[in-house]
Amino acid sequence: MNTPAKSTQMRNVSEGELTEVDTQSKRGHARMKKMKSFQIPDLYKSSIIGGIKEARRLKDKLKKDFSPTLLDLGSVRFLISRHFGFCYGVENAVEIAYRTIEENRDKRIFLLSEMIHNPDVNADLQSRGVKFIMDTHGGQLIDWSELTSDDVVIVPAFGTTVEIQQRLLAIGINVYQYDTTCPFVEKVWNRATAIGQKDYTIVVHGKPSHEETRATFSHAKENAPTIVVKDMKQTIELAKYITGEKEAETFYQEFTGQYSENFDVTKDLKRIGVVNQTTMLASDTQAIADYLKQVMIQHFDVNGTDISAHFADTRDTLCYATNDNQSATYGLLKEEADLAIVAGGYNSSNTSHLVELCEQKLPTYFISSAEKLLTSDLISHFDLHSKEEKITQNFIPDKEVVTIMLTCGASCPDAVVESILLKLVSFFPESKSVESVLSY
């Protein structure tokens, strides 16, 4: 197993390192989380993927090397992303959810919505009796009237709205007892509160229908006027209301459902600050913030004066895992390959952004599990543009040696990545086994 550096030079991970990592994967997994060690069900773990991750961690403890790991099996080569899979927030949520089940066997257990955007995790929780109150889009599956104060309700990693918190408290359910909200999501809420209390209007860069954005919007509007922009295109249109290029009356139709109650477009866009959904592309959020800052500078003619009178100096609010995964994907794409496989839930925002990055360079297939690898000639994959699954023939090129990039989102278990890896290897009968490469 090798690691490409700057696209040309290769570095080897020694036999001793790999053997030690493979035989001590559980201890290695615990050491990876210096802040906290999580108890994750074994069904989500993988000795192969865990071993590869730990070998890289030992070689790069400061996480400065974003080049991929090369797994050379002869007839097929895998370029495996430096960072991928369960992040701190997801491991925290998974641990709390399974502990909650274990500690409340005599009670009904509900999740507000999907725990994380991964079908395997959500299906397993449902198989253990957990019921979802809402779907991922906020549609009601179980009426609030069916809940009682004796029920257990788990708040998912995305967090939830102030309105839902109040509804649960009114029923007599302690909304904070089984709260798995990611600490990096809460960091965004705190940032929004801080700038809102300084009389800035909060601009949230995020997908308006996403659970996390809905939660962030709800918490932000408690402190200040708030509006959601989903991309640069919407941001450019928002700027036209700042400069007066567009009539104020059209704002409320154009941004229906994306602004807080009593939002006054003639007053509330004179002082703004940008925060974001933690899983958006870092480059997109930065571009939106930079664009709005320049609009404020030019419109209010504050060159040479203090821009803070109109634009809040907010630091980036992406979580570390999103940053690492995106940086690792850029590192992955410096290499040459025939195709990319990206694993994860089809409604996972951070995973979809990895797919978008890979699609810019090479054929990319977004799959949820190894079952989508139908045969060596057929793959069933999700098309981000049509929002539908489709089947592609001859996705593996007819070559003597095929190179495949492999990565996944922050909510995808290592076990899923391992099963995809092994399924792909099975399509190359003349290849070396993964185990033999990891142990020589």
The pair of structure tokens assigned to 27 is 């201890």
Per DSSP, what are the bridge partners of residue 342? 366, 407
Which runs of consecutive H residues, i.e. helices, occur in 197-306?
Answer: 211-220, 232-243, 248-254, 282-300
Burial class (CB in 10 A: 0-12, 13-18, 19+), 290: exposed
DSSP 156: P
Gyration radius from the chain CA atoms: 23
How many C-beta atoms surround the C-beta of residue 318 within 10 A? 23
Sign of the alpha-carbon torsion through 322, 325, 330, 331 = positive
Do 322 and 267 meet the contact criterion of CB atoms below 8 Å apart?
Answer: no
Do 5 and 70 meet the contact criterion of CB atoms below 8 Å apart?
Answer: no
Nearest Cα neighbor of 178 from 241, 106, 245, 95 is 95
Our answer to whether residue 212 is catalytic in this structure is yes
Q: Could you give the CA distance from residue 17 to residue 252 in angstroms, rounded to a whole number?
A: 60
Q: 79 — alpha (psi -120 to 50), left (phi > 0) or beta? A: beta
Active-site pick, 54, 91, 114, 212 = 212
What are the φ/ψ torsions at residue 332 (nearest 5 degrees)?
-60, -40
Query: How would you list the strands of the sheet with 76-80, edge to edge?
Result: 9-12, 2-5, 69-72, 76-80, 402-408, 339-343, 364-367, 378-383, 388-393
Residues designated catalytic = 212
